[in-house]
Structures are given as structure tokens and as C-alpha cells.
Amino acid sequence: MDRRSLIKNAGIAGVLAAGVAPAVHAQAAVRWRLSSSFPKALDTIFGAAEVFAKNVKAMSGGKFEISVHAGGEITPPFGVVDAVQQGSVEMAHTAPYYFFGKNECFALGCAIPFGLNSRQMTAWTYEGNGLKLMREFYAKYGMISFPGGNTGAQMGGWYRKEIKSMKDMKGLKMRIGGFAGRVLERMGAVPQNIPGGEIYTALEKGTIDAAEWVGPYDDLKLGFNKVAPFYYYPGWWEGGPQLDFFINQKAYDALSAENKAIVEAASAVAHVDMQAKYDARNPGALKELVGKGTKLRPFSNDVLAAAFKTSNEVYAELSAKNEDWKKIYADYSKFRKDANLWFQFTEAKFDSFMQSQQKSL
């Protein structure tokens, strides 16, 4: 028996043991496997799964251990939902919008163009109806979700040529994560869904004209500045993309009450940890990129206005044909309206004043 099947069998045995004796304090060891959609090199985004596993192990006194596997190691990066659903791994860490092809609602649990920012997404998830609605939806796939980080507003990606107006979007072959491709397609671009670990080669070879990934810290690490000079902002399709831990429902149900509480707490720690890492590491990376010759460019109002209009058309069409979307998006968009009503006053004023003063700080 190889090491992998040993771990798998130990995992099943652990789950069964925990299931038959949940009230007993001397728990049997639980061993799970977590499949990430991300490469190990991305310490912020892949790292959130490691932070989660480390805390689960520490909080359980070593009785609940989760091995963390990079995308492609035991499951293809975009195969993690199938793997969790089938139970071939107990859990995954991913950006749910990768799976919009199964149902567009996956995007609502992560990011949609002109959606909630990071703070608002966390508020909708924990204090609004977000977690409840998304869990009802994910139950159809035999899994339960726990928040697993946020990158904050992303950059708009790397371009070989400048995007001065909507005309420059026509025919643009662009790697873009998840659901935003639906909107870009209608704007005349040709979206490609490529895993993080494969973007550099595609951009270097010219298979694609542009690529977005996350923001300065990760993008510098992946070296996109070496193969495209223009770096646009904002990533209007990802104002606050949230990641999730997806757990096979049966595996979760078999956990003791203590281990369930540990999972919930460890996910909340990982959720905060990822945003903190991005906010702390992006400034230095941005300075380094600009120092190496990267040219920062804002998207024109023309492009933003067209993208906003197109996004709303897509959402209206989805509400007419996808019952789940209609239900979740109604709640999401009401929350977004109120959140922006509030954020426009003191948060926005404070931020814009401080940003205008940053050179004097």
C-alpha cells in the first residue's frame, strides 16, 4: 500500500471512529486531505489552507490533522469541487467562481463584476444572509462552505498593449479568473480560464494578449511584469473575491461537535490572515514593480461604464433563467446597495483624504 492510500484509509477510519463516538472526549484521530486550487509558491493564497490546517491541528491537540496538497498534486486545480463532492478528498480550498460553469451561483460566493468589496463580502457572509444562502446552494453538491480568505480588490491585469477605449477590448485574448469572462465576452474579448500556475507560459508564448491574476504581491512573484508592460486597475470584476473551504458534507457530519467548532474557528483565522497578508505585502511589491518599469494605467471611464452596463444585463438574464441565482442575487444586490450607501460617507471620505496625504506621512 502506498503512502497516499494509507493516508486515505486512515482518513476514512478516523471519520468513522469520530462518527460512532462523538460524545467521548478521547477522540480517535481524524486525518483529512485538503486539495487546493493553487500552487505552493503563492504563500498568501495557498498559505491560507496551511494556516487553517496548522490551527486545526493545534486546537485539537494533534488529534485532527489535515494534509494540504497543492493544485495538481492529488486533484487538478479545477477538479477540487468534483473531488469533494465524490468524497475522494474531504475538503478543498478554492475560489468558488472557478466553477461558474456548473452553475453561475458559485460566483456569488466569491466575486462577480462590480460586486461586494472585501469588507462588505465578509459582512454579507457572517452577518447578512450570505453564508446561509450559499450553504443552501452548496448542499446540492454535497458540501458545506466556510470562508477561507479574501485578496481585497484586485488589479486589472497585465497587457501587452494599452487599453485606451472599448475598441481595444475587441478580440483581446485574456486569461481571466472565473465568471467575469461572461461579461468580457460580451465586450468583445476572448476570455480564457487558465490555472494560476500556467498563466506565465501562456502570456510569454503569446497564446494570450493579457492576463489578470491577483495583485502586486502575487503577480510579481509569478513574473508577469517580464512579459507584459502595462498593469491596469481596478480589477472591476474582483472588488473583494472571497475564497472558501469546501468540505464534503458526510465527512463534516461525522466530526465531533468539538472538531466542528475547531473547523469554524480555524476558517475564521485563515479568512483574516489572508487579507492581512495581502494588505501588508502589496505596497512593497507595487513599488518594486514600478521600479522595474511596470506602467500603471487606470481603465478609462468608457471601459468601466460599458463593463458595468454589460454586467447588469448578464445579471438580469441570469435572474430570468436561474432560480438559485435569482434568489441569492436579490439578497446580495440589496446588501450591496445598502453597504455602498454607508461606505460612501465616512469610510470613503477618510480613505480618500488619507490617500491624498500619503506622500506627507
Please give the residue ranges that form the binding site for Ca ion (CB under 5 A). 154, 177, 212, 238
For residues 29 and 36, is the Cβ–Cβ distance under 8 A? no
Closest approach of Ca ion to the CB of residue 66, in Å: 26
Closest approach of Ca ion to the CB of residue 59, in Å: 31
Closest approach of Ca ion to the CB of residue 176, in Å: 7
Closest approach of Ca ion to the CB of residue 40, in Å: 19
**Three-point CA angle 292, 274, 79, nearest 5°:** 95
Specify the residue, 90 or 212, whose C-beta has the smaller distance to Ca ion: 212
Specify the residue, 150 or 294, whose C-beta has the smaller distance to Ca ion: 150
Closest approach of Ca ion to the CB of residue 100, in Å: 13
Specify the residue, 81 or 155, whose C-beta has the smaller distance to Ca ion: 155
Alpha carbon of residue 194 to chain centroid = 14
Query: What angle in degrees, to the nearest 10, is found between the helix axes of 118-126 and 323-343?
Result: 120
State the burial class of residue 19 (Cβ atoms within 10 Å of its Cβ: 0-12, 13-18, 19+).
middle
Closest approach of Ca ion to the CB of residue 138, in Å: 21
Which residues make beta-bridge pairs with 298?
233
Specify the residue, 154 or 259, whose C-beta has the smaller distance to Ca ion: 154
Q: Show Cβ contacts of residue 303 under 8 Å, excluding neighbours closer than 6 positions.
A: 163, 165, 166, 169
In SS3 terms, 218-249 reads as HHHHHCHHHCCCEEEECCCCCCCCEEEEEEEH
Which DSSP string corresponds to 301-356? Answer: HHHHHHHHHHHHHHHHHHHHH-HHHHHHHHHHHHHHHHHHHHHTTHHHHHHHHHHH
> Nearest to Ca ion by Cβ — which residue?
177
Closest approach of Ca ion to the CB of residue 160, in Å: 18
Closest approach of Ca ion to the CB of residue 28, in Å: 40
Distance CA 244, CA 255 (A): 19
Question: Any idea what DSSP says for residue 172?
Answer: -
Closest approach of Ca ion to the CB of residue 301, in Å: 22
Specify the residue, 91 or 176, whose C-beta has the smaller distance to Ca ion: 176
Query: What angle in degrees, to the nearest 10, is found between the helix axes of 301-321 and 323-343?
Result: 140
| Among candidate residues 208, 165, 181, 168, the one with its CA nearest the CA of residue 305 | 165
Backbone angles phi, psi at 235, to 5 degrees: -75, 85
Residue 265, classed as helix, strand or coil, is: helix
Number of helices followed by number of strands (H, E) in the chain: 14, 11
